[in-house]
Structure 1
Amino acid sequence: MSEYSIAIEPFKEAWPELEPLCREHYGEMQRRMASEGMTIGDFNPRVNVYGAAPHLLCFVVRIDGEAVGYAFIWVTQDMHNSELIGSEDTIYMRPDHRNGIGRRFTKHILAELKARGCQRAHVTIATDLRVAKMCERVGFKRSAIAMTYFLQE
């Protein structure tokens, strides 16, 4: 029986394999937002910025060596109190692997951030809003409401 593995990988090395997953993720989010009357631009990541950022952690979930999920997490200081925090840029699990591994993946990320001295981890749920329930089950608290205003409509 195959087992999932979770590891931090260098962004530049992982990107060629993760790019199709990122594109799939973005498309899923884009379709959800469009279904609610919100149009966002096409996939065009700033790979040069991500690849050069020393404070970006690239977590990858694999099964039989194949990437099936990923998370990009910024480790930075809170601008108001200088506490070290983890701020999610992207977390995604391929739909055919949404079978409980997401919860294990989230706990793995949180353990790594805690080991690095982070005081808090922040996430924004934008692709599948049902993920908020899983986040609450692992201990996240609702602390804000994300709002988007479209200036170019």
Structure 2
Amino acid sequence: MSDYAIIVENFNAAWPELEPLCSRHYGEMQARMAAEEMTIGAFKPRLNVYGTADHLLCFVVRKEGEAVGYAFIWITQDMHNSELIAMEDTIYIRPDHRNGIGRRFTKHILAELKTRGCIRAHVTIATDLRVAKMCERVGFKRSAIAMTYFLQET
């Protein structure tokens, strides 16, 4: 695992390389949700928001220079107490690299967020629900249950 590098990169610079991974990730999430009779729309990221947000961190996992994983993390203030918190937008490791790097990646992200003054980090697990067990092993606590109600067919 020592041949993996984890770097905070500029979103706009990294996007051309990350877009295929993001699309693949979204497809995996769509398939998992479809298996549970939930349909979500096509992949169409709001690059105008991601690309201009100064409070978005873009973490990239690289092996031999190639991006094999990424995470987009928003740093914001809690609406209720103004504490600095991190909200995961997405975290993904390519399936052929899911060999323990996910745990290392998560710990790296948490350490970076701590150095930036974040009090809490929140994640939503939507693609592979087994990731919850890894999050718990790293120290995450279950704090909520996410529910989705579909108001319209997509």
TM-score (norm 2): 0.98
Q: Hey, what does 2:127 align to over in structure 1? A: 127
* Matched-pair contact (CA < 8 Å) for 1:2–1:63: no
Helix, strand or coil at the partner of 2:51: helix
- Could you list the runs of 5+ residues in structure 1 that have no partner in the other structure? none
CA deviation after TM superposition for structure 1 residue 2, in Å: 6.7
Q: Which amino acid aligns with 1:5?
A: A
Report the count of equivalent residues. 153
Q: Which residue of 2 aligns with 1:68?
A: 68
Give the deviation of 1:48 after TM superposition: 1.1
Q: Which residue of 2 aligns with 1:6?
A: 6
Structure 1 partner of 2:16: 16
Between the aligned partners of 1:66 and 1:79, the Cα distance in structure 2 is 37
Q: Partner of 1:113 in structure 2?
A: 113
Structure 2 unmatched runs, 5+: none
Amino acid at match of 1:125: I
2:95 maps to what in 1? Answer: 95
Runs of 4+ in 1 over 6 A off after TM superposition: none
RMSD between superposed Cα atoms in Å: 1.0
Distance 1:67 1:38 in 2: 30
Question: 2: distance between equivalents of 1:42 and 1:99?
Answer: 29
CA distance in 1, matches of 2:117, 2:93: 26
For residue 115 of structure 2, what is the amino acid of its counterpart? A
Q: Which residue of structure 1 lines up, in the alignment, with residue 53 of structure 2?
A: 53
C-alpha distance after superposition, 1:75-125 (max 9, x if no partner): 000010000000000000000000000000000000000000000000000
Secondary structure at 1:67 match in 2 = strand
Query: Equivalent residue of 1:52, what SS?
Result: coil
TM-score computed with the length of structure 1 as normaliser: 0.99
Match of 1:136 in 2: 136
Q: Is contact 1:2–1:64 with CA below 8 Å preserved after alignment? A: no
Report what 1:83 is aligned to. Answer: 83
CA distance in 1, matches of 2:115, 2:2: 28
**Could you tell me whether the CA contact under 8 Å between 1:7 and 1:59 is conserved in 2?**
yes
